[in-house]
Structure 1
Amino acid sequence: MLVTQKGFSLVELLIALLLGSVLLAMVIGLYVTGVSSGAKSLKYSRLRTDLQSIISVMETDIRRAGYGGDEFMVGSGATQTVDSINSAEQDCIVYYYNHDAAPSITDANKMAFRFIPGENEIQFGTGVGPLASDCYAAGNGSWTALSDKQFIKITALDFTDLTDSSISGASATMRSVQIELAGELASDSRYTHSIKTKVQVRNLEFK
């Protein structure tokens, strides 16, 4: 007895191939979307982490302002432990402290953070004059970049000098500095992040 074997017709094969292609395209699309989303999340996470690291460095250092005696006080008339400037073109904070047990003040103890809008970066300086306006004077201080402008574009850095309260008899003042930092991805300005924090200067100001 002759048995007839049947297979798929050309139309059925074409339909199966079409459905398989559509399914494969959907899977590839989901994979590409997932990879792209993961990469963007990673970049944003790094943006936040890098900005938080910069803030942490500034907080830790500024908190020590004034440590080391009268020589390390900074500001107009040596009455402040920290001096800052906040304007459209200049944003800088100057502070001194004796971090190396130096017998007298040296350039290594004269520190500052400043924002350079044209470079979109934050810089750390040593050997800076006692006033925040000295940060932008030609030849004043030795500066190195604190932020990576190839990855992060710093868009704002503001320092606001605050006087929180007075201690009994107004003989001493507790001073704090508010720091506001904002940045975005250099490769994609849609990814932005900002941080605001307040730092209490370690040593009190006695009048």
Structure 2
Amino acid sequence: MLTNKKGFSLVELMLSLLLGSVLLAMIIGLYVSAVSSGSKSLKYSRLRTDLQSIMSIMETDIRRAGYGGRDFLVGSGGTKTVDSQNSGTLNCIVYSYNHNAAATITDTNRMGFRFVAAENKIQFGYAVDPLATNCYSKGNWTSLSDNQFIKITSLNFVESVVSSATASIRSVKIHLSGELVADGSYKHAINTRVQVRNIEISL
């Protein structure tokens, strides 16, 4: 004896396809959103890491300023161990220390960091002028930041001195900020203060 077997109607099939398509679209949307969010998080993480690495390099080197013999002690004018400039787009610090056992200060002992606003990057230099006002006209400079990925938006160096009757302690406050080139809404800023090595003795 034959029995009739009922299948799905056309309406039921169409409804199933519609619901399946909506569900698939939601899953794909969630996946794309998760991938996009993960990618942005990685980029922001790299932004923070790169800025922190640059700051660490500057901190470590500036902290050594003044290390060495008598010629490397803090002075004034052209003999200053640390000198900075913050004026509009001219943001630079120059310093010297005895990193190669030199008895006197030579060009290789004079170093600096500067912000190149036109290219949104930070550079390290050696054989620089002892005065920060001249750091854009002299020295051998190389980039520390990748301006294809990070846009450096500001770099400032502010010197301060705490003095007593017999000695003075010099420090430098550093401010660094940047953002992603691909997405300017991702920004990060770091502030720190560095004490230079030598205490200035009042004679």
Task: Within 5 Å, give how 1:14-53 maps onto structure 2.
Answer: 14-53=14-53
Classify the secondary structure of the residue corresponding to 2:6.
coil
Provide the residue aligned with 1:161 in structure 2: 159
Report the CA distance between 1:174 and its aligned residue: 0.7
Classify the secondary structure of the residue corresponding to 1:5.
coil
Cα 1:73/1:112, change in 2 over 3 Å = farther
Report the CA distance between 1:108 and its aligned residue: 1.6
Provide the residue aligned with 1:146 in structure 2: 144
**Which amino acid is the alignment partner of residue 121 of structure 2?**
E
Classify the secondary structure of the residue corresponding to 2:26.
helix
Provide the residue aligned with 1:185 in structure 2: 180
Cα 1:5/1:186, change in 2 over 3 Å = same
Equivalenced residue count is 202
Cα 1:75/1:19, change in 2 over 3 Å = farther
CA distance in 1, matches of 2:75, 2:119: 27
Identity of aligned residues (%): 66
Report the CA distance between 1:101 and its aligned residue: 1.1
Task: Within 5 Å, give how 1:189-204 maps onto structure 2.
Answer: 189-204=184-199
CA contact (8 A) 1:81 1:205 kept: no
Classify the secondary structure of the residue corresponding to 2:61.
helix
CA contact (8 A) 1:76 1:131 kept: no
RMSD between superposed Cα atoms in Å: 1.4
Please give the TM-score of this superposition, normalised by the length of structure 1: 0.93
Cα 1:126/1:79, change in 2 over 3 Å = closer
Deviation >6 Å, runs of 4+ = none
Provide the residue aligned with 1:55 in structure 2: 55
CA distance in 1, matches of 2:181, 2:76: 38
Classify the secondary structure of the residue corresponding to 1:129.
coil
